[in-house]
Structure 1
Amino acid sequence: MTRWVAPTAAGPVRGSVIVPGSKSATARAHVLAALADGPSRLVGALDARDTRLMRGALATLGVGYTDHDDGTVTVTPPDAFRPGAVDVGLAGTIMRFVPPLAALAEGTTAFTGDREAEVRPVAPLLDGLAQAGARIDGRALPFTVHGTGSVRGGEATIDASGSSQFVSGLLLSAARFDEGLTLHHRGEAVPSRPHIGLTLAMLRDRGVGAEEVGPASWRVEPGPIDARDETIEPDLVNAAVFLAAALPTAGAVTVAWPRHTVQAADTILGVLDALGGVVTRTDGYVTVSGTGRVKGADLDLTDASELTCIAAALLATADGPGSIRGVAHIRGHETDRLAALETELSQRGAGVHQTADGLAIEPRPLAGGAWGTYADHRMAHAGAVLGLSVPGVELDDIGATTKTMADFAGLWSGLVGA
């Protein structure tokens, strides 16, 4: 664990940041390349702990990787997947995207992970896979998938109210199931639905028949998955962390922003606007400017729950009360983020309490001090944002940020001017 005092802005934070590739798109690209009918080259893929673990998991199943001098990587699918032992770390994408591939192997694959991952929900994904014909021992980490070389597919019904990844994990491999898959959701609203849109779009880009066939139903047709070279777009949630630095410092921060994306771009920019940022879009870029005052706001983050931690940090410094809703499911993320934010922001002086599906935040005078990251990159990002205007916020482990950015501390300090 590496302690790190978040730099406090001495003046307006101004500059531009090159944000690494999207973790969500990178994970899906690796899985689809592993399932494809030939080699694929990935450009701009994220290099961070989660994606390295994804590569390791797929390599265990027989997928080949060739790294090139220009930073691209070629992914070569095996003739047949092989069983093995998979370490998911703390990555939800691995524990939810890779088991269907293991079911296509002939033999037993054991899934283990970090201690914190053992409480992350995965049972709906495993239930759906079992309904599709796979045999699985366990309903949480550690669990075992007994592959037979094929999966029947057909139809399955799950409760995906805990994570959209349960849906994406099943859909990504479904074209390789004998009958494809018609998947239904039964339960409360599915969170982060743009991520399902990303999954469907990437499947269609590879020639797969994949569509939403009802308000909470999806269909993937059986058939080959075309090999496809892909350029991974920037991670817009990670970009939002840097854009947020403009708000409390009266600064202006610019990042590359794709012209067309299925990430929750409008929601992200809408949140920054609601909190007092001025959003300017130009060809391929976004600039967010701040006035030095964060506005209190009621934020519905149903479609972009990954923003919760930085939004909460900003609201703790706002000019009036604020709230976040639509994020009950993040109690099951890398940590219980709602409990963690309530604890850490309260210890720094803010008035914070949990609601049924979010947080209510009352700004009060804040003081520096210890900030727990809970091995969670988003909690570390929140501590960095808070530290912009609150001197002496000391994160217990800046290393948590390597989950999605290899050098967040360097990028952040370079932007803030520390």
Structure 2
Amino acid sequence: MTETPALHALWPAPLADGTVHATVTVPGSKSVTNRALVLAALAAEPGWVRRPLRSRDSQLMSDALRALGVGIEETASSSSGDGAGGEAWRVIPAALHGPATIDVGNAGTVMRFLPPVATLAAGDIRFDGDPRSYERPLGQVISALRTLGARIDDDGRGALPLTVQGGGALEGGVVEIDASNSSQFVSALLLSGPRFNQGVEVRHTGTTLPSMPHIRMTVEMLRAAGAQVDTPEAGGEPNVWRVAPSALLGRDVVVEPDLSNAQPFLAAALITGGTVTIPDWPRRTTQPGDELRRIFTEMGGSCELTDAGLVFTGSGKIHGIDVDLGEVGELTPGIAAVAALADSPSTLRGVAHLRLHETDRLAALTAEINGLGGEVTETADGLHIRPRPLHGGVFHTYDDHRMATAGAVIGLAVEGVQIENVATTAKTLPDFPKMWARMLSGAGA
């Protein structure tokens, strides 16, 4: 199990001394990288994952798959047919086996996507992780796998730690699941579904379903790997997804930049009235972060997709916003940080599920922004933010990468903000402090 340090150094968040003008190259998407690794591991032939995100979460995923017998060869550079260079990982599928112990850290994709994979392994696969991982919702995945024929020992907790008693195959079939707390519950079952004997039919029974773009991402990547997937959007039953049993293709996947991780850099342009360019921003994507173009434009900026990438420019003014973030909840911390500096109040809706993320993000944002002099009130499903003059102080991160970047955003406009444990950004954004400094220097990142 990975231990969390008891004491973290404070990082002085740099104050912007003028407008920001920079080009920032954002590392690859965690969501795409980890889905691509799982699908490549389950494929019938080797494949490539190019421009992957190298971060704590993706390292946990690759280490876990290696523990199950999958070969993952990392190369410094390679080239695919579309000219994509940079780092590349060759994934070589193998017969999955135990015994093995998998450290999930506090990575939702690892703790939810890999138990279904482990049912296909021969032998016992134990899952453990950071203390916070014990508190994160997993019971729906556990109960669903049992319904589909899996044997899982969790001592009745419905949570980590647990052991999957892999039998080398899983029968599969129809299962009901309440994914109101996380769309990852649905994605977890769909990703391994082609390898189940009967495939899988997932029927969501809850009243809400957050982060639908992530399910669309899963479906699109499954289809690209050769899977047959029926979805509600394609004329199927509402809240029902079906994956037929089939072999998966070994593919050559080029990972898009992580658009959600572009958020703090775009926020810097919005706050300072400057311009930030993000190269390789896709013109079509299933990533939730693409909504930043609309949201930050409504809050006072403007953007243009060019051959150089997304060019985002701030107007020097920040406006409040009333917005439902149910499908893009991961953007909430950064939007709340910007909203705390706006010229009018904001209401962020549809994100009650954030109370169950890396930390209780709604409580954390309320406590930390108010601790700097702000006025944030929790609502049943979000936050109401009334801007107030802010002052310096310690901004606690609760080992949550998006809390750390939110604090850095506020620090651009408020002198004396100190971020506790900025190193937690390594979860999805390695070298964030260096990237932040280079952006502010105008050198880019």
> What's the TM-score, normalizing by structure 2?
0.92
1:230 to 250, 253, 256: 253
- 2:116 maps to 1:100: yes
Aligned to 1:49: 56
Is 1:15 the equivalent of 2:22?
Answer: yes
Following TM superposition, by how much is the alpha carbon of 1:53 offset from its aligned partner in structure 2, in angstroms?
A: 0.6
Render the CA deviation track for 1:265-316: whole Å, top value 9, x for unaligned.
5522111112111122223611111122210111211111111001000111
Equivalent residue, structure 2, for 1:4: 11
Aligned to 1:349: 373
Residues 147 and 175, structure 2, Cα contact 8 Å, conserved in 1 = yes
CA distance in 1, matches of 2:230, 2:275: 39
Q: Which deviates further from its counterpart, 79-88 or 215-224? A: 79-88
The structure-2 alpha-carbon separation of the partners of 1:282 and 1:204, relative to structure 1 and needing over 3 Å to count, comes to: same
Deviations 1:97-156 (A, max 9, x none): 000111111221111000111111111111111111101122101111111111000000
Q: Percent identity?
A: 48
The 8 Å contact of residues 358 and 399 in structure 2, kept in 1 or not, is answered as yes
Does residue 210 (structure 1) correspond to residue 229 (structure 2)? The answer is: yes
C-alpha contact (below 8 Å) 1:32/1:172 kept by paired residues: yes
Give the Cα–Cα distance (whole angstroms) in 2 for the partners of residues 276 and 190 of structure 1. Answer: 29
Distance in 2, Cα, partners of 1:2 & 1:261: 37
Q: Indicate the RMSD between aligned Cα atoms, in angstroms.
A: 1.1
Match of residue 153, structure 2, among 127, 131, 137: 137
Distance in 2, Cα, partners of 1:80 & 1:362: 53
Q: Contact 2:97–2:123 at 8 Å: present in 1 too?
A: no
Aligned counterpart, 2:143: 127
Asked if the contact 1:277–1:288 (Cα under 8 Å) also holds between the matched residues in 2, the reply is yes
Alpha-carbon contact 1:81-1:101 (below 8 Å) kept: no
Structure 2 letter corresponding to 1:52:
Q
- Contact between 2:375 and 2:386, CA under 8 Å: does it hold in 1? yes
- Distance (Å, rounded) in 2 between the aligned partners of 1:82 and 1:110: 9
Separation of aligned partners in 2, 1:211 and 1:288: 37
3-state SS in 2 of match to 1:182: strand
8 A contact 1:83–1:105 mirrored in 2 = no
Distance in 2, matches of 1:61 and 1:54, equals 11
CA contact (8 A) 2:283 2:305 kept: no
Matched, 1:298 2:322: yes
Deviation at 1:388, TM superposition (A): 0.6
**Shift of residue 69 of structure 1?**
2.7
Give the alignment of 1:348-387 within 5 angstroms: 348-387=372-411
| Alpha-carbon distance between aligned partners in 2 of 1:303 and 1:187, rounded to the nearest angstrom | 15
Q: Which residue of 2 aligns with 1:73?
A: 89
| 1:117 has 2:124 as partner | no
- Does 2:191 match 1:172? yes
2:66 aligned with 1:59: yes
Change (3 A) 1:114 1:80: closer
Q: Does 1:250 align with 2:273?
A: yes
Q: TM-score, normalised by structure 1?
A: 0.98
**CA distance in structure 1 between the partners assigned to 2:259 and 2:408 by the alignment:** 17
- Secondary structure (helix, strand or coil) at the match of 1:98 reads helix
Structure 2: which 5+ residue stretches go unaligned? 1-7, 78-86
| Residue in 1 that maps onto 2:84 | none
Deviations 1:296-337 (A, max 9, x none): 111211111111001000111110111101111011000000
Number of residues of Structure 1 aligned to a counterpart in Structure 2:
418
